C-alpha cells in the first residue's frame, strides 16, 4: 500500500483526503517547502539558450587545460574548449520514490517529513509552534549565485530548486521494502526520531501502511538484525527474488500512475562482497550468479540489478560495495543510472572541509582520529566487525584527493618505496594516519556523537591540535540527503546532451549522461565515479560541479570570484 495517493482526475496529490487531527494544521509554508512560480523563476535571454515546447536547449563551452610535464620538469599548458548542447525536458510528471529500508529510522523520517510538509502539520514544542520544513536539503534550502544586479552591483542568489524544473518533495509518492513488517506508524514510534506531538498527528496518515517484503541474506548484515526479519520474500532463490523486486517496481509505478521511479537503498550496512572472477566481475557473470543463487551476491546488488533491468535509477546510501564490476557494466549496457555510496551527513562533511582548509593553508595534517557513538539500529548493525569495515572504508578515503593534490607537503608514490612482509617493493604516497571508531551506545538513540582530532605540522617543526565535538541527530541529517538524491537523480533522467565540435556530432541525436551519477558526490561519502577517473572528495569542488552543471543546462557560464571589475581602474 502506498502512503500517498494521487488525485485520479487532476493527476496531483490530494492534500486534503486524510483526517484533520487537530488545530495545528494549516501552518504557514516554510521557505524550504515553497513552490516555484508557474513557468519557473528564471528565464535566460541569450542566443545560446532556447525555450521550446517541452524543453530547454542550451549550448555550453567546457573550458579546461591540458598540462604536459617535460623532461626538464617544466610544464606546458594548452587551453582546451569542448562545445556541447543540453536538452532538459521541462515536464516533471509524477515521481515515485521506493526506499529499501522503508521501516528504518531514515525511511520513517523521510515519509513523516514528506507527509508533514504535504499536509502542513505543525506541532508544539517547548519553544512554540514548529513548522514542517526541508532544512538540510541542498536542493531545497541552499542557493546559487545567478549573477549580478546591474543597478545595485549586488549578487543575486536563487534556490537550487529553481534552477531547472525539479520534482517538489511534497509531490513524491513514497513506498518501498523492509525486512521488518511493522506498519509505518509503529515503525516511526520505534525509531524515536521525531517529536511526540508530530508523531501523534502523523499516526492516522501512516497507519495501515506496511513495507513490501524484502530479501534477507544473514551473512551480509549483523546477526543482531535477525529479530527484525519477519517480512521476507520467501525462499532462497535469488533469481526469484530479483524477479519479485522487478515486479514490485512495475506494480508500484502502475498503481500510482507514475511517470518515473527512483529506488534508493537506506537499509542496513552490509559487509563487503568479495570480487571473484567468474562471479561478479562482468554483467554476464553477475546475472548467471544470481540465477545460481551464489553466496557472494548481496541483497543490495540484487536490488541494484532489478532497478537497472527496470530502467530506473538506483542510489546506494550505505557504504558496502553494492556496485561490483558486473553491476556497473550492466548499468552501462542498459544506460541506466546508478549512484553511491554512503550518505555524507555529518562528520565526514566536516572532515572533508577541514582537511581541505588545512592543506590549502599549507598546514600538514599528520593524523586524523575520528570517534563516533550512536544508539540507533544503524549503530547496532555497525557493532558487527564486517559491517563496520564497510563504513570504515567509506569514511577513511575522504581526504585522499586533498592530500594527493599537494606534493609539496606530502611525498608522492614515486618518491617513496617500501617493502611489504613478503619482501615485495611497494609504492605508496605519503598520507596522514587516519583511524575511525564507531561504538553502539543504545541510550543516546538517534543522537550521534562524533569527536575528531586533527594533529598537524606547523612552521619549523611546530605542532597544532584541533578537536571538534559534533552532536547531531543522524536521521534528521540523512533524510534531506535522500530527498536531494531523489530529486537530482530524477532531474538527470530528463537531461540529454550532444557534442558540437564538428558537423557530424551536431547532426547526432541527443543522448543520456553516463550511467554513474558522480554529480551526486556532494551527498555521498565514497562517491562512485566513472572507471579510470579520479574520485573528488573536496566538498567545495563537489558543490561547484553541481552548480556548474545546472548552469550549463541553462547555457550560463559558471560565476567565478575573480570580481575583475573591482580590481581594475
By annotation, the residues acting in catalysis are 342, 391, 448, 525
Number of residues assigned to the chain: 569
- Collapsing DSSP to helix, strand or coil, 540 comes out as helix
Task: For residue 278, count other CB atoms closer than 10 A to its CB.
Answer: 11
Q: CA nearest 248: which of 277, 215, 205?
A: 215
Question: Which of 254, 262, 257, 339 minimizes the C-alpha distance to 307?
Answer: 262
Contact at 8 Å (CB) between 128 and 142? Answer: no
φ/ψ bin of 293: left (φ > 0), alpha (ψ from -120 to 50), beta (otherwise): left
CA distance 137 to 119: 19
CA 416 to chain centre: 36
Which 3 state secondary structure label does DSSP give 403?
helix
Angle at 149 between CA 143 and CA 151, to 5 degrees: 155
CA–CA dist 176, 140 (Å, integer): 23
Distance CA 543, CA 538 (A): 9
Q: How far apart are CA 463 and CA 456, in angstroms?
A: 6
Beta strands per DSSP E along 25-172: 49-52, 55-69, 75-89, 95-100, 123-125, 128-130, 143-148, 155-159
Q: Look at residues 160, 174, 172 and name the one whose alpha carbon lies nearest to residue 36.
A: 160
| Neighbour count for residue 355 (Cβ, 10 Å) | 25
Nearest to 198 by CA among 281, 113, 261: 113
Sign of CA dihedral 32, 34, 35, 36: negative
Neighbouring C-beta atoms of residue 141, cutoff 10 Å:
19
CA angle 445, 447, 453 (to 5 degrees): 130
Q: Which of 249, 325, 323 is nearest to 284 (CA)?
A: 325
Amino acid at each position: 500500500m502506498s502512503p500517498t495517493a494521487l488525485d485520479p482526475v487532476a493527476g496531483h496529490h490530494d492534500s486534503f483526503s486524510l483526517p484533520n487531527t487537530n488545530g495545528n494544521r494549516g501552518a504557514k509554508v516554510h521557505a524550504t517547502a515553497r513552490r516555484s512560480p508557474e513557468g519557473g523563476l528564471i528565464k535566460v535571454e541569450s542566443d545560446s539558450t532556447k525555450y521550446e515546447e517541452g524543453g530547454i536547449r542550451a549550448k555550453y563551452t567546457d573550458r579546461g587545460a591540458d598540462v604536459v610535464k617535460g623532461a626538464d620538469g617544466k610544464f606546458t599548458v594548452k587551453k582546451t574548449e569542448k562545445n556541447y548542447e543540453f536538452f532538459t525536458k521541462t515536464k516533471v510528471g509524477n515521481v515515485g520514490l521506493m526506499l529499501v529500508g522503508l521501516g528504518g529510522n531514515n525511511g520513517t523520517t523521510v515519509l513523516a517529513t514528506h507527509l508533514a510538509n504535504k499536509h502542513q502539520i505543525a506541532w508544539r514544542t517547548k519553544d512554540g509552534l514548529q513548522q514542517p520544513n526541508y532544512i538540510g536539503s541542498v536542493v531545497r534550502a541552499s542557493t546559487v549565485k545567478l549573477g549580478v544586479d546591474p543597478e545595485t552591483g549586488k549578487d543575486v542568489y536563487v534556490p537550487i530548486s529553481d534552477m531547472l524544473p525539479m520534482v517538489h518533495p511534497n509531490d513524491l509518492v513514497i513506498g518501498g521494502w523492509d525486512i521488518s513488517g511493522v506498519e509505518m506508524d509503529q515503525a516511526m514510534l520505534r525509531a524515536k526520531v521525531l517529536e511526540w506531538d508530530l508523531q501523534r498527528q502523523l499516526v492516522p496518515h501512516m497507519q495501515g501502511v506496511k513495507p513490501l517484503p524484502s530479501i534477507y541474506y544473514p551473512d551480509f548484515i549483523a546477526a543482531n538484525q535477525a529479530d527484525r526479519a519477519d517480512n521476507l520474500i520467501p525462499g532462497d532463490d535469488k533469481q526469484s527474488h530479483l524477479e519479485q523486486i522487478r515486479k514490485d517496481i512495475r506494480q508500484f509505478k502502475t498503481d500510482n500512475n507514475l511517470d518515473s521511479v527512483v529506488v534508493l537503498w537506506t537499509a542496513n550496512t552490509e559487509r563487503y562482497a568479495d570480487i571473484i572472477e567468474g562471479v561478479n566481475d562482468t554483467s554476464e557473470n553477475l546475472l548467471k550468479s544470481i540465477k545460481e543463487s551464489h553466496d557472494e551476491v548481496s541483497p543490495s546488488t540484487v536490488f541494484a540489478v532489478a532497478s537497472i533491468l527496470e530502467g530506473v535509477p538506483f542510489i546506494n546510501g550505505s557504504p558496502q560495495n553494492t556496485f561490483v564490476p558486473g553491476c556497473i557494466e550492466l548499468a552501462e549496457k542498459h544506460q541506466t543510472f546508478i549512484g553511491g555510496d554512503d550518505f555524507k551527513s555529518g562528520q565526514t562533511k566536516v572532515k572533508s572541509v577541514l582537511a581541505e582548509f588545512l592543506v590549502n593553508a599549507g598546514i600538514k595534517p599528520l593524523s586524523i582520529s575520528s570517534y563516533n557513538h550512536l544508539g540507533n539500529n544503524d549503530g547496532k548493525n555497525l557493532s558487527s566487525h564486517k559491517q563496520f569495515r564497510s563504513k570504515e572504508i567509506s569514511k577513511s578515503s575522504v581526504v585522499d584527493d586533498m592530500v594527493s593534490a599537494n606534493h609539496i607537503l606530502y611525498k608522492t608514490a614515486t618518491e617513496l618505496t617500501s617493502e611489504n612482509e613478503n619482501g615485495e617493493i611497494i609504492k605508496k604516497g605519503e598520507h596522514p594516519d587516519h583511524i575511525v571508531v564507531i561504538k553502539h551506545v543504545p541510550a543516546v538513540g538517534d543522537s550521534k556523537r562524533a569527536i575528531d582530532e586533527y594533529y598537524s605540522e606547523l612552521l619549523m617543526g611546530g605542532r597544532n591540535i584541533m578537536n571538534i565535538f559534533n552532536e547531531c541527530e543522524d536521521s534528521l541529517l540523512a533524510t534531506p540527503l535522500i530527498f536531494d538524491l531523489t530529486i537530482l537523480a530524477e532531474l538527470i533522467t530528463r537531461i540529454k546532451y550532444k557534442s558540437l565540435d564538428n558537423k557530424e556530432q551536431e547532426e547526432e541525436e541527443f543522448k543520456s549522461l553516463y550511467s554513474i551519477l558522480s554529480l551526486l558526490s556532494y551527498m555521498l561519502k565514497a562517491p562512485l565515479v566513472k572507471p579510470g577517473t579520479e574520485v573528488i572528495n573536496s566538498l567545495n569542488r563537489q558543490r561547484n560541479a553541481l552548480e556548474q552543471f545546472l548552469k550549463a543546462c541553462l547555457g550560463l557560464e559558471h560565476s567565478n570570484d575573480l570580481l575583475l571589475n573591482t580590481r581594475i581602474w
